[in-house]
């Protein structure tokens, strides 16, 4: 199993490197439902960024794993679990900010729990599917709110979970970043794009993704 995880990780990294031309892309190894032993194997191979969908899993796993792991919360965050999440000292980013009320609660709680502002990505529902979380057409309003009213949050980028096989979702996230950067008078390149998963991460990188979330290609299929 060790060689499987290590070999899979090396394969994904090789595929990423074959696409890049002087750019840097962060690989987030999605460890949802996976045991700490497999995460440790990827860590021992040099990997540091891991993604979890549930607050309970990060809270349970983080204390038992190396402190320099950078955790990404990539699942929907319920407001009643904000404090638990923020208490994870090596939480790197919340990729699923989708409302002003959640932003305000994160900002208020971060002020008393964290030394540094929490990085956040705005989750944009680019496909319009009701089954997916994220803002639809409200990314500029939300992003401006975070930038102007939430000093304990750092607006770091935008994220989407697009419809499978629909590259139009990548284009729409790029357009959303352009609109938001204009409203904030920021260089678009200063905002990250988190898009692309196991089935389409190479295409997402070709479109300009700076952060890809890959699980099954590294750890195998997830438990339901």
Residue 138, SS3? Answer: coil
Q: Are 102 and 138 in contact (CB under 8 A)?
A: no
Summarised one tens digit per residue, pLDDT across range 158-167 is 999 977 767 8
Count CA atoms within 13 Å of residue 65 on its CB side: 29
Spatial separation of the C-alpha atoms in residues 143 and 151, rounded to whole Å = 13
Summarised one tens digit per residue, pLDDT across range 175-213 is 999 999 999 999 999 999 999 999 999 999 999 999 999
Question: Is it the case that residue 128 has pLDDT exceeding 90?
Answer: no
Dmax (CA) for the chain in angstroms is 49
Residues 105-124 have a mean pLDDT of 96
Q: Are 91 and 141 in contact (CB under 8 A)?
A: no
Phi/psi of residue 124, nearest 5 degrees: -110, 125
* Residues recorded for the chain: 224
Question: Is it the case that residue 224 has pLDDT exceeding 90?
Answer: no
Q: Which residue, among 27, 155, 33, has the nearest Cα to 94 in the 3D structure? A: 155
pLDDT reported for residue 23 = 87
Spatial separation of the C-alpha atoms in residues 71 and 130, rounded to whole Å = 27
The answer, as to whether pTM is greater than 0.75, is: yes
């Amino acid at each position: 199993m060790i060689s499987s995880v290590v070999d899979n990780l090396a394969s994904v990294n090789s595929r990423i490197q074959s696409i890049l031309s002087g750019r840097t892309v962060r690989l987030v190894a999605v460890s949802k439902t996976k045991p700490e032993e497999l995460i440790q194997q990827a860590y021992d191979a040099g990997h540091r960024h891991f993604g979890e969908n549930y607050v309970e899993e990060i809270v349970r796993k983080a204390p038992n794993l190396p402190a320099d792991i950078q955790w990404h919360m990539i699942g929907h965050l319920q407001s009643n679990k904000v404090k638990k999440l923020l208490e994870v000292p090596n939480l790197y980013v919340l990729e699923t900010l989708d409302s002003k009320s959640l932003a305000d609660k994160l900002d208020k709680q971060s002020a008393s729990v964290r030394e540094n502002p929490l990085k956040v990505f705005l989750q944009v529902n680019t496909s319009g599917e009701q089954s997916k979380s994220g803002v639809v057409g409200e990314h500029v309003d939300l992003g401006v709110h975070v930038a102007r009213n939430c000093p304990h949050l750092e607006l770091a980028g935008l994220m989407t979970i697009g419809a499978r096989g629909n590259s139009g979702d990548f284009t729409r996230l790029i357009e959303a970043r352009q609109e938001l950067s204009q409203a904030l008078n920021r260089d678009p390149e200063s905002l990250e794009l988190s898009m692309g998963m196991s089935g389409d991460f190479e295409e997402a990188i070709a479109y300009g993704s700076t952060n890809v979330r890959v699980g099954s290609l590294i750890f195998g299929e997830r438990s339901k």
